[in-house]
Amino acid sequence: MEFLPISWRLQGKQALVVGGGDVALRKGRLLHRSGAVLSVVAPDVCDELRHLVAEGQGHLRERPFDAADLAGSSLVICATDDSAVNAQIADLAAAENIPVNVVDNPSLGDFIFPAIVDRSPVLISISSSGASPVLARKLRSQLESTLPARWGRLADLMAKFRQPLKDKLDNVGARRLFWEQALDSPIVEKVLAGKDSEAEVLLAEAIDSADSDKLSQGEVYLVGAGPGDPDLLTFRALRLLQKADVVLYDRLVGKGIVDLARRDAEMVYVGKARDKHALPQDNINELLVHYARQGKKVCRLKGGDPFIFGRGGEEIDLIVQEGINFQVVPGITAASGCAAYGGIPLTHRDHAQSVRFVTGHRQDGTVTLDWEHLVSETETVVFYMGLVGLRQICDQLMAHGRKGDTPIALVSRGTTDLQEVITGTLATLPDDIEGREIHAPTLIIVGSVVSLHPKFGWFK
């Protein structure tokens, strides 16, 4: 993150704009709306910018910039059409420790202007860190079309009832949970429909009946994070992740997904690398109960789907025994996600009429599977956690009747920007990858559907 997004109170503070054209005007409009006192310096100033200065009782100097113009300024905007002049002003401002913005050259300044979605008092800022203002404006236009204009009215209503709720509930966690529930209630629709008085009545009634003990009951969310790409997270998974007070996550959950959690949530890494867990499974189960018993909302974030080789059943078992409320949110399992991103349909009427998911994780140094039922030519077999046992998997399949020229794919870090798909046959793939550095997590797909990868592979 190159720039820290902050909200800056500028009411009554002097903002110096050097420049009088269209670019200076755009910055001047934003500063005027924020309540800043405009000070404009330029030989030629457009009429609208003049008007903004006068309306805000600012200062207009129709001449070239002078270093003395910096006096009393809380920030400086360099918006002339001369890059050398802009750079000179930026240096002078830096020497005076005054934050400066250099239009069209963010590297010379301290801050940049984001694209803004204004639903005052709700503001959404969108920035490309100066890389592409056009992209930021494009994202803004998309948000503008999806966010109702009355969101600001909703924020005002919540502000009005903050103190009454505080008087009712002295627990800050209970108050946060109350507002989360209120935002999922008919109160929101009343405000968006313009029925503010009805919304006030509903909110007052909800506060009157609010119960701190009920709001503070712990709960566990067992959430499937999918195979890696954050875009594959479900809406429900995202909502519960951002609601959680504590998040337990493992190695298979991508950083982009972990970063979606609430900033103030407690993040607990539990490892789960092959044969090297940061915490044993029993300890993870106990941690879920421990945090829930404290009245916290606990998200157990798991790669793929919790109930497909995710040991979700084991984790829920203790929660059920302890009588703790829980939810299970399915995720896109690795087989489905990696196959789709690898251009390998798991079923295809010309290749496979069924698919089987099995674990290739070794126990006591061996891969113990029902090999006789894994050799059908019309079935795709997907092995989870099979990288270390790849050679044994291939040998056993061939020993039990699968042909040596059967196509096989090894998918590494599937659905992410680092995805790699290595194809071969049962007879050749183990030797092909000998000595190569293969990054986990990996998935193995066996069957003639793998032959479609060169044709259907789309994700690079």
The DSSP annotation for 333-396 comes to -HHHHHHHHTT--S-BTTTBSEEEEEE---BTTB----GGGS--TTEEEEEES-STTHHHHHHH
Output the pLDDT for position 214. Answer: 86
In a structure prediction context, what are the per-residue pLDDT tens digits for the chain, which is 460 residues long? Answer: 888 989 999 999 999 999 999 999 999 999 999 999 999 999 999 999 999 999 999 999 999 999 999 999 999 999 999 999 999 999 999 999 999 999 989 899 999 999 999 999 999 999 998 888 899 999 999 999 888 889 999 999 999 999 999 999 998 888 988 999 999 899 999 999 999 999 999 999 999 999 988 888 899 999 999 999 999 999 999 999 999 999 999 988 988 999 999 999 999 999 855 555 567 888 999 999 999 999 899 999 999 999 999 899 999 999 999 999 999 999 999 999 999 999 999 999 999 999 999 998 655 656 789 999 999 999 999 999 999 999 999 999 999 999 999 999 999 999 999 999 999 999 999 999 999 999 989 999 999 999 999 999 999 8
Is there a common fold for 14-113 and 219-332? no
CATH number for the domain formed by residue range(s) 14-113: 3.40.50.720
For CA atoms 122, 128, 130, 134, the dihedral sign is negative
Write down the catalytic residue from 272, 296, 297, 302.
Answer: 272
Write down the catalytic residue from 69, 229, 250, 305.
Answer: 250
Q: Which homologous superfamily is 336-456 in?
A: Tetrapyrrole methylase, C-terminal domain (3.30.950.10)
Q: In this structure, which long-range contacts are made by residues 283-289, counting pairs with CB atoms below 8 Å and at least 24 apart in sequence?
A: 284/248, 284/315, 285/314, 285/315, 285/317, 285/318, 285/319, 286/318, 287/248, 288/220, 288/248, 288/315, 288/318, 288/319, 289/318, 289/319, 289/322, 289/324
Q: Give pTM, 2 decimals.
A: 0.74
The dihedral over CA atoms of 427, 429, 434, 439, expressed in degrees to the nearest 10, equals -150
Output the pLDDT for position 318. Answer: 93
Q: Does residue 121 have a cis peptide bond before it, meaning omega lies within 30 degrees of 0?
A: yes
Spell out the domain ranges in the chain: 14-113, 151-215, 219-332, 336-456
What fold is seen in the domain 219-332?
Answer: Cobalt-precorrin-4 Transmethylase; domain 1 (3.40.1010)
Output the pLDDT for position 274. Answer: 52
Note if 160 is an active site residue.
no
Note if 455 is an active site residue.
no
Output the pLDDT for position 368. Answer: 81
